[in-house]
Structures are given as C-alpha cells and as structure tokens.
Amino acid sequence: MLSLSQTTGYAIEAMSHLSGPAGRPATLRSIASRARVPYAYLAKRMPELVAAGLVRSLRGKCGGVLLARPPETITLLEISEAVEARQWLGRCLLGLTACSDERACPAHAFWKNTRQQIEFVLRTTTLADVIAHEDTLQQLHG
C-alpha cells in the first residue's frame, strides 16, 4: 500500500510533541521518548528540520528544540519535503525509470492524479491538525 516514508512519519510524530515558538525547549531524548521515535534517528533528522525553518535549536543549559513557527502554519508537505525532498512525488508507481508524460507507463495517468491529490492533502493539513487529532484520540482512549 502507498504511504509516506517512516522518516516523514517520525518527523511528524516528533514535531507534534514540540512546544510552539514561545514555549519551553525540550531535549531530543525527551521528545524521542514521548514520540516513540528512536533517538538516533531523530538526532539525524533534526538538523534537516532546523535547516527548513520548521524547528529552532537552542544551545545551553536550558537549550533544546521547539517549533520555529506556530503549528497552524506548518504543513505536512513542508515536513515531508524537509526530511526527504519530493522523492515520493516524482517516482513512477511501477518503478520504471523511463516513465514520463511523453512515455507513460500503464499506471501513469492514475499515479499522476493520485500524486496531485496526496500533495493537496499534505499541503492543506497542518501540524496543528495532527496534534488535535492525537488529542482527540487520547481523550477517547485515555
């Protein structure tokens, strides 16, 4: 089944546990624990999120990481692009290297349409939407 990579999933999960720009920074270890993301994986990906302007990293005794912008302004597409570019968007569904609009594979039209739909959902869904969804699930399942 088609889905975003585990890398993107981990990044979204970790970022959903960060404080907003005016909040308190958290250590990577605490975020990894709360988000259930492997620490080494998170440490490897955090610089990409910082470089993309999605996360701020503060050094020092009270340092850590926090969101660079309010979660309502961070889209899932931005997070995905920060950690894995647009790799999943450009690939042929069948994995054919020669597939293009000019030399389409049998699944080309379907995949082109599906990619556009996925991109729309990721562009219009924010980190705040993910956080609200998780909060709702937490309330329902305690």
**Measured over all CA atoms, what is the biggest interatomic distance in the chain, rounded to whole angstroms?**
57
Helical spans, DSSP H, in 2-126? 6-15, 28-35, 39-51, 76-84, 87-90, 108-124
- Tokens in use for 94? 């069948």
Q: pTM, whole model, 2 decimals? A: 0.86
* Residue 52 placed within a domain: yes
Neighbouring residues of 121: CB distance < 8 A, sequence distance ≥ 6: 76
Tens digit of each residue's pLDDT, the chain (142 residues) = 466 788 899 999 999 999 999 999 999 999 999 999 999 999 999 999 999 999 999 988 888 999 999 999 999 999 999 998 766 666 788 889 899 899 999 999 999 998 889 899 999 999 999 999 988 888 887 6
Residue 96 lies in a domain: yes
Domain of residue 94, residue span = 6-141
Tokens (6 digits) for 86: 């647009």
Number of domains comprising the chain: 1
Question: Which neighbouring-strand residues pair with 65?
Answer: 26, 57
Q: Are 32 and 14 in contact (CB under 8 A)?
A: yes
Look at residue 2 in the predicted model and tell me its pLDDT.
62
Which CATH number characterizes residue 32's domain?
1.10.10.10
